[in-house]
Structure 1
Amino acid sequence: MKNLVLRAEEIHEDMYAAIDLITDKLERQIRKHKTKVNRKFREKESLKDYAPIFTEVEQVEDEEDLEVVRTKSFDLKPMDSEEAILQMNMLGHSFYVFTNAETNQTNVVYKRNDGRYGLIEAQ
């Protein structure tokens, strides 16, 4: 599936048991994503492809040294905030930048310290 990254981790004494547990986790993620995508396509007609650029900057320890040390570019897929949260969690990140399918604006979802999620809408 284009633009989809699945991720799973497991610790177990038996390597084969760990692989089985990871396989189960990945299968659940695939089913969940497939169900969501199928529901979206039933609700809406096909969406146009957008390709804005997203740049990720690694955090710099020393505030005096504000040099950009890493740059990444991403295609921002149109989606809703719920799907963006799912993608963020699958990647294991604390934030996720996406194009809001309803408004065509760049949005950011992030995980708050209290365990809930926040949404930043660019204007």
Structure 2
Amino acid sequence: MGKELDVMYLVSKYIIICFGLFLIYSGFLMFFNPEKARTVIGKAGSTFAINYGELIIRLLLGISFVITSKTNTYEQYFTIFGYFLIISAVILMLIPMKTHHKFSTKAAETLKPIYLRICAPFSIGFGILILLAIFK
């Protein structure tokens, strides 16, 4: 059973690496093309595939953080963040899709390009911190 756990840990680690890279990419998108970022945000919950695809990815990411937390220097942070992602994914799965989409549409309208540009360095920084933490 040790090999299965090693594979699970390795897959979880790669999922987190992809998430860190995604945050960095998203930060650059928010800075250089905020209108595109707003469009993507506004699509959350718009179709069955987008809604549950996003939530399943969030759930798997949360599980990955919890799995890798056991061998990580930042165990407490990974555990808290992982459970936050898991719980939020489950809650959003229980909320009607229309409500989720309505919220994301409102958020996309509220987020002006300047706000996204201001948030971009935080997304990039958080992505870099995740990559540094996963390799430490």
Structure with greater helix share of residues: 2
The verdict on a shared fold, with TM-score over 0.5 as the criterion, is: no
Under a length normalisation based on structure 1, what TM-score does the superposition of the two structures give? 0.29
Query: Which of the pair has more CA radius of gyration?
Result: 1
